[in-house]
Amino acid sequence: MADKELDLKRMGNLPHWDVENLIGKMTLKSLLFSDDYRHIAIKGILTSLVMLALGGIMAILFRTELAVPDVQILGARVYMTLMTLHGMIMVFGFLIPLVVSVCYFLLPKVLGHERLIWAKAAQWSYWLLILAAVLLVIGRPDFTWTAYPPMSLRTGNPLLWMGYLAIFLVAVSEFLAGAVLLRNALEAKGGWSKAPLMAWATGTVGLLFMVSTIPLAFIGLGLLTDYLEITAYFDPSRGGSVKFFLYVFWSYGHPAVYLPFVPAIAVLYTLMPRFLGHPMWSYWSGVAAFILLMLGAIPIGPHHFQPLYTVSGWYERMVQILTLLVFIPSVLHVFNWVATLFMERIPTSARRAVPFKFMVASIGFIIYGGATAFINAQISIDSDFIHNTYWIPAHFHAMFFGFVGQMAIAGVYYLYPYITGRMYNQKLANSHFWLWQIGLFTKISGMFLAGYTYFPRWVYDYPPLPEWASTQFMITVGAYLIGLGFILFLYNFAVSASRGRQVEGDPWPVEDDAAAVATPAE
């Protein structure tokens, strides 16, 4: 069927790269400055993994602190610094760069350009982000990633200006990354209706990156000039407005959630047909969902802070309705994936492939964490137990780590033979997979329970209530399991590059042991 061929093509379902030991052939110079898309992507992937390790060590430290009430390992300031850096490093340093880097690797072949257009911008984006990370680690801000003024203007940290500057640099870096994604998507061959879903994803999210980082840049600069007492945008004691900050910040802050989310969905749409050997259930449903997600992202930002007056005020009501409606495009994606998995017999090769396992698990977590968005959106329930209790970290860890993080790791496992020429160790990868699933489920469930019992966010110690102590302990156990899984992953990643099975030809052939019994040919 011609239709099926077109579908296969526009979903990036063909083996694209020759398997080679790219990492082994790279010199320090090509790693740092080469504009070859694979080199940029590998650099991004490796850096993101370093960031994940950093953010993870911080998480392990403060999870240890929280495991038992009344026992102090870290002081309040150290705890808050670690917490702030954990948030910023994980989102700006791990999630967004990792999925974007995987997209950089996939785009040129999926779209058929054979090169990354505007690779120089991707290069600049990378180096600006590194500069921001260095500033963050030296400046050690302790104002949480949301930097709410006037608190963020007077935490007493003498190097606070570095934090604001880092926010500005992150904005510029993400703007450039968005420009690259959008530019490449616009060049998709054969017109819109034949563009792979990845082009739709990177196009819409690229645009979103470019629009939404403008307010973030303003936030970074505004905080800096406010801090230097040149301006007074956000400090009410000098005539500024906190509400102004909230509206501006969250018009970046909500899209910021989609900046890693949509590229992760794009990776999923590319890998799923690749492993199953048939196109997605619906192409246009995916396209519609991408467009709706992009349109919904900015207007619903205010759901991150509480309505100032009442739900019957038309603006707050509109935000609530739009937030509830944005649920629909996400559900369209999930529906599409589950329907695709249902279509034909799942080949044994897919069941065996670790990236495929991570992909299916990440769909599980998007369901687990995503469904709660439906009640988070309602102002009345939000004013009951959701706003700034642990319910919120539970929701976004399920989405960010359970879905985006795991999908990005699926991408890394998928690219592994293409960048090292060898296959990962199956046993270690399986252990990593199960440690993460059990750890994540324990951690996220513990967070949901803690939130339901009103455990507040951002505390380094808490009264020894039994329901709080038990849930905190549960979360810490989950975090340790995840840490253990990550160590296995790093070991596997490093060792298999020289000792793994050498791959010849297509590393991901679609094979089915029971092909004879399988569905009749179409």
Partner 1 sequence: MENALGLSGGQATLIAITAGFTILGLVGLAAAMFMEKRWKVSYSFEFLFIIGMLVLVYYADWNSKTTYKAYQAELRQWEEVAGTPLAKEDRKGVFDQVINVAAFQWGFAFINENNELSRNAAIVQPGEKVLFRVMSNDVIHGFNIPVANIVAEIDPGDVRELWIRAPDKPGKYLIQCVNYCGVGHAQMKAWLVVQGADEDNEETSQLDTGEGTSNG
Name residues contacting partner 1, limited to 293-352 (CB under 8 A). 305-306, 308, 310-312, 317, 320-321, 324-325, 327-328, 331-332, 334-335, 338-339, 341-346
Signed CA dihedral, 296, 299, 305, 310: sign only: negative
Nearer to partner 1, 124 or 454 (CB): 454
Lookup: tokens for 505: 């030809």
Q: DSSP states of 340-362 as a string?
A: HHHHSPPPHHHHH-HHHHHHHHH
Q: How many residues bind partner 1 (CB under 8 A)?
A: 77
Rounded to the nearest whole angstrom, what is the least distance from the CB of residue 379 to partner 1 in the complex? 5
Cα three-residue angle 49-304-479, rounded to 5 degrees: 35
Q: DSSP state, 423?
A: P
Site pattern 9..48 for partner 1 (x: CB under 8 A): ----------------------------------------
How far apart, in whole angstroms, are the C-alpha atoms of residue 7 and residue 325? 29
Signed CA dihedral, 192, 196, 197, 203: sign only: negative
Nearer to partner 1, 64 or 388 (CB): 388
Rounded to the nearest whole angstrom, what is the least distance from the CB of residue 153 to partner 1 in the complex? 9
The residue among 189, 323, 158, 173 whose CA lies nearest residue 254 is: 323
Other C-beta atoms lying within 10 Å of the C-beta of residue 454: 15
Rounded to the nearest whole angstrom, what is the least distance from the CB of residue 182 to partner 1 in the complex? 28
Rounded to the nearest whole angstrom, what is the least distance from the CB of residue 276 to partner 1 in the complex? 11
77 binds partner 1 (CB under 8 A): yes
The residue behind tokens 């320090």 is 28
Q: DSSP states of 205-216 as a string?
A: HHHHHHHHHHHH
Rounded to the nearest whole angstrom, what is the least distance from the CB of residue 113 to partner 1 in the complex? 32
Q: DSSP states of 35-67 as a string?
A: --HHHHHHHHHHHHHHHHHHHHHHHHHHHHHHH
Strand partners, 456: 389
The footprint of partner 1 on residues 170-229 (CB under 8 A) is none
Choice from 181, 216, 264, 360 touching partner 1 (CB under 8 A): 360
Site pattern 257..296 for partner 1 (x: CB under 8 A): ------------------------xx--x-----------
Nearer to partner 1, 78 or 497 (CB): 78
71 binds partner 1 (CB under 8 A): no
| Half-sphere exposure at residue 286, Cβ-oriented, CA atoms within 13 angstroms | 30
Q: DSSP state, 196?
A: -
Choice from 242, 291, 292, 497 touching partner 1 (CB under 8 A): 242
Rounded to the nearest whole angstrom, what is the least distance from the CB of residue 67 to partner 1 in the complex? 15
| Half-sphere exposure at residue 486, Cβ-oriented, CA atoms within 13 angstroms | 22
Rounded to the nearest whole angstrom, what is the least distance from the CB of residue 309 to partner 1 in the complex? 9
Choice from 292, 459, 484, 490 touching partner 1 (CB under 8 A): 459
Rounded to the nearest whole angstrom, what is the least distance from the CB of residue 381 to partner 1 in the complex? 6
Choice from 61, 68, 371, 469 touching partner 1 (CB under 8 A): 371
Choice from 380, 466, 505, 521 touching partner 1 (CB under 8 A): 380
